[in-house]
Amino acid sequence: MSGSEFYFNVDSGYLEGLVRGFKGGILKSTDYLNLAQCETLEDLKLHLQSTDYGSFLANETRQLTVSTIDQKLKEKLMTEFHYFRNHAFEPLATFLDFITYSYMIDNIILLITGTLHQRPISELVPKCHPLGSFEQMEAVNIAQTPAELFNAIIVDTPLADFFQDCLSENDMDEMNIEIMRNKLYKSYLEGFYKFCKKLGGTTEEIVCPIIEFEADRRAFIITINSFGTELNKEERETLFPTCGRLFPEGLRLLANADDQDQVKMLLSIMLSTKRCLKELELDREKRH
């Protein structure tokens, strides 16, 4: 036995064992069938007691509500996630951090949009996802422009690297907030994709196609939502993530689309091309 084999999975072996244990605790199809038969939340609690979720409502003595169950599930998720993150070595630690960044982006946009509509920050913060929480969240409402938001708040958060393309002196109106959201997601997805590509191996094989799908999905959504707005075609194209399978030709066609019919036509062409490529691949495998 070589010396290197003594150190196999020395950094992540413990966490891998935990992941396998948590995977075994995921609800089965029979559990969901039983849950579908529950007529009250107390019935649901009773059934969950026989699963790995049995303890998360154990100390809840008040009458159950949907919001209570949602809160307790998030608390369970946060406890498990932070335990993993606190015991993770690189590059797993950075990978787990990347997972939280999308929630941070959504939280920032929620807070900005809420304050734009005169909602108190104390009411908005509890609505934020805990995976995307950061210390400066409650100060988001003081920023009047993206540049102010960055200089006063974002500069000290992990989102600073993704925020460079969002800096402007434009006011925080609904259009500019949506543009900022899409620019942040573009930078985030491209950064996450680059990180997974660099890692290679199973991470690249499994995670990169997921990011590619999300990038293409966002490109379609941005295109459809831009119809009938002040966003011109050139500005629309700058919001598209370039790490999806649509890049580059598909993104160019989406950028020049004038209505939903053209988007549908592009999608049908893509699906037909994908089917043809799959058939060619299957035919090649048969011949070999």
The CATH number of whichever domain residue 153 belongs to comes to 1.20.1690
Q: What is the pLDDT of residue 1?
A: 46
Are 67 and 100 found together in one domain? no
Are 177 and 210 found together in one domain? no
* The residue type at 203: T
Decide if pLDDT at 283 tops 90: no
C-alpha closest to that of 185 among 83, 108, 260, 72: 108
Are 250 and 178 found together in one domain? no
Q: Report how far residue 151's alpha carbon sits from residue 268's, in angstroms, rounded to the nearest whole number.
A: 44
pLDDT digits (tens, 9 = 90+) for 213-245: 999 999 999 999 999 888 899 999 999 999 999
Which carries the bigger pLDDT value, residue 149 or residue 281?
149
Q: Of the candidates 86, 118, 149, which is a domain's last residue? A: 86
Q: Is residue 111 part of a domain?
A: yes
Mean pLDDT over the full length of the chain: 86
Q: What is the pLDDT of residue 63?
A: 86
| Residues 51 and 27: beta-carbon distance below 8 Å | yes
Are 171 and 227 found together in one domain? no
Q: Report how far residue 21's alpha carbon sits from residue 84's, in angstroms, rounded to the nearest whole number.
A: 13
Q: Is residue 105 part of a domain?
A: yes
Residue-number span of the structural domain to which 126 is assigned: 89-196
Are 189 and 204 found together in one domain? no
pLDDT digits (tens, 9 = 90+) for 178-202: 998 999 999 999 999 999 999 999 9
Q: What is the pLDDT of residue 242?
A: 95
State pTM to two decimals.
Answer: 0.84
pLDDT digits (tens, 9 = 90+) for 152-179: 788 888 888 888 878 777 777 888 889 9
Q: Report how far residue 103's alpha carbon sits from residue 179's, in angstroms, rounded to the nearest whole number.
A: 17
Q: What is the pLDDT of residue 182?
A: 94
pLDDT digits (tens, 9 = 90+) for 9-40: 666 788 888 888 888 888 999 999 999 999 99
Q: Is residue 134 part of a domain?
A: yes
Q: Report how far residue 246's alpha carbon sits from residue 151's, in angstroms, rounded to the nearest whole number.
A: 34
Q: Is residue 163 part of a domain?
A: yes
Are 219 and 242 found together in one domain? yes
Q: Is residue 1 part of a domain?
A: no
Q: Report how far residue 3's alpha carbon sits from residue 5's, in angstroms, rounded to the nearest whole number.
A: 5
Q: What is the pLDDT of residue 5?
A: 56
Q: Is residue 148 part of a domain?
A: yes
Q: Is residue 5 part of a domain?
A: no
Are 30 and 16 found together in one domain? yes
Are 80 and 177 found together in one domain? no
Are 185 and 205 found together in one domain? no
Q: What is the pLDDT of residue 6?
A: 53
User: In the structure, what pLDDT confidence band is assigned to residue 118 with cuts at 50, 70 and 90?
Assistant: confident
Decide if pLDDT at 280 tops 70: no
Are 81 and 100 found together in one domain? no
Q: Of the candidates 171, 196, 221, which is a domain's last residue? A: 196
Q: Of the candidates 177, 196, 215, which is a domain's last residue? A: 196
Domain count, the chain: 3
Q: Is residue 4 part of a domain?
A: no
Are 77 and 22 found together in one domain? yes
Are 221 and 266 found together in one domain? yes
